[in-house]
Amino acid sequence: PTIYIITPTYKRQEQIPDLTRLAQTLMHVPSIMWLVIEDAEMLNPQVAALLNRTGIKYLHMLAPMPKDQQKRKVKARGVSNRNRGLQWIRENFADKNGVIYFADDDNTYDLRLFDEIRSVKKIGMWPVGLLTSYGMSSPVVKDGRVTGFYDGWVANRKFPVDMAGFGVSVSMIRRNPKGNMPYVPGYEEDGFLRNLNVKISEIEPKAENCTKIYVWHTQTKKNRAPSRVNATIHGHTNIWTLYQ
């Protein structure tokens, strides 16, 4: 089965380093299609050049956050991008045995994760490290079945899980054409899984019954420097032009 990896991204100084790390992980994974979707009005040429260098089968698309969402104080990040990816899966020829996975550009992924994703029949879940004061988020598994969730921020969610903690079959995405992600900060995962009509009883626990952590919610510290340098270096006045 093909893994469709849907990665939302947006322009900032950490974009190319974050995407470089993710790309060089994905270069080790067979049978994938990488949907890289920018929250922007124009494709970033540095991202295009990076994708081109990898040799990975990819699609580079745009899905800017809607204007009304941009105005909000707390924003639901990456939603327009992920919904664009889902739309592509529904409208185009996609491997009917395939699985989709939302891979944020800044997380850290162990190669073993992709074997777990590939084995998903309908909906699979696994732990995610480095989340909240609990140190991780994970389904709770008893006798091979998901009975609940361990998460530092349950907040009335039916599915208190992180974006990196689940994979969904292409067939489930296609069977539920309204299974999209809502613009509700903090409730993107829960809303999406509810809209997909996921039942707790059908969740497949992965990563040795959720006893292994193969993905971490890492976050890259923001650099304070401006993207325009103060003086000319090697004939460049813009750091981005050194990212080729």
Q: At closest approach, how far in Å is the CB of 222 from ligand UGA?
A: 10
63 contact choice in ligand UGA, Mn ion, none (CB below 5 to 8 Å, kind-dependent): none
Task: With beta carbons less than 8 A apart as the criterion, state whether 183 and 195 touch.
Answer: no
Identify any residues that bridge with 4 across adjacent strands, giving them in sequence order.
33, 100
DSSP 94-152: --TT-EEEE--TTSEE-THHHHHHHT-SSEEE--EES-TTTSEEEEEEETTEEEEEE-S
Catalytic site includes residue 189: yes
Q: Which is nearer to Mn ion, 106 or 110 (CB)?
A: 106
List 116, 188, 189, 204, catalytic entry? 189
- Helix-strand-coil percent breakdown of the chain, rounded to 5? 30, 25, 45
Q: Which is nearer to Mn ion, 18 or 204 (CB)?
A: 18
188 contact choice in ligand UGA, Mn ion, none (CB below 5 to 8 Å, kind-dependent): ligand UGA
By CB under 5 A, residue 106 contacts Mn ion:
yes
169 contact choice in Mn ion, ligand UGA, none (CB below 5 to 8 Å, kind-dependent): none
9 contact choice in Mn ion, ligand UGA, none (CB below 5 to 8 Å, kind-dependent): ligand UGA
Using CB under 6 A, list all residues that contact ligand UGA: 8-10, 39, 76-78, 81, 104-106, 162-163, 185-186, 188, 217, 219
Q: Which is nearer to ligand UGA, 12 or 121 (CB)?
A: 12
Instruction: Give the residue at shortest CB distance from ligand UGA.
Output: 78
Long-range contacts of 54-58 (CB under 8 A, 24+ apart): 54/23, 54/24, 54/26, 54/27, 55/27, 56/23, 56/26, 56/27, 56/32, 57/32, 57/33, 58/33, 58/34
Q: Which is nearer to ligand UGA, 84 or 206 (CB)?
A: 84
Q: Is 174 helix (H, G, I), strand (E, B) or coil?
A: helix
Residues that bind Mn ion (CB under 5 A): 104, 106
Catalytic site positions: 189
